[in-house]
Amino acid sequence: MTKAECEHCVLDALKAGYRLIDTAQSYFNEEEVGSAIKKSGIPREEIFLTTKVWIEHYGYENARQSVLESMKKLQTDYLDLVLLHQPFGDTYGAWRALEDLYEEGKVRAIGISNFYVDRMVEFVNFNRIKPMITQMEVHIFNQQKQLKEYADKYNVQLEAWAPFGEGRGNTFENEVVKAIGDKYGKTAAQVMLRWNLQRGVVVIPKSTHYERMVENINVFDFELTNEEMNTLAGLDTATSSFFSHQDPAMVEWFVKMVEERKKNNRSEKEKKNW
């Protein structure tokens, strides 16, 4: 979500009844999110606010300082949840920083994002404080069944980014999903959200349109049957609609992106100082 549309959209979402806001350092809109929360007049304690630490801020000191900077941008003295955004670089150093911030009360929950099931199990077992949330691409075509199984085993809450797969593979036009929706007078989007909720998965659907925000939150007045849940489970291809973090070429892409961003940030700082 761009800076220009972010503040307006967050205000719309809060108006529609949403109370969980998910942002990240890499989205470059924390200031706008903080401004919207302040303008909304809604008490801070009624809002669950999440941000994520970006790779270039990994390592203990960098991660700690970046979270404190995020808090300033978001105009808050605590964060409800902070995630490590990607599974690359000095993740353990960054995690130690989150553990300390958690114990200091500055962060109320800590977790990981885009860590595949093997890395999640590793992080659960080799840290002082285990992740409380694991955020991953989860939708009807990439259901993350094994990740869900192990998250449940270790009492880690699974949270779905892109719960619609951003429409890739025609999720909104899928005939199976639409037929189930027709039965309840619901859209395909509402069926997909309800399906994940009944699996015990937290969903964070993104929309810039107020009417869709209202639609997406209107999913608590119907319930899918076991047969319907099993039918939707059969749509799984166990394949990402975006990219694989286990693909070495993708890892190289992330490395280049981080270096480019560091270079751009240095250039911006030099311009300001000049």
Structure tokens given for 109: 């929950």
Taking a C-beta distance cutoff of 8 angstroms, is the pair 120, 150 a contact? yes
Rounded to 5°, the CA angle 169-171-173 comes to 105
Taking a C-beta distance cutoff of 8 angstroms, is the pair 101, 107 a contact? yes
Q: What is the DSSP string of 199-263?
A: TT-EE----S-HHHHHHHH--SS----HHHHHHHHTT-----SS--TT-HHHHHHHHHHHHHHHH
Q: Among the options 18, 27, 58, 102, which is catalytic?
A: 27
Backbone angles phi, psi at 81, to 5 degrees: -155, 135
Active site residue 60: no
CA of 147: how far to CAs of 39, 64, 154, in Å? 38, 28, 11
Tell how many helices (H) and how many strands (E) occur in the chain.
Answer: 11, 7
Catalytic annotation, residues: 27
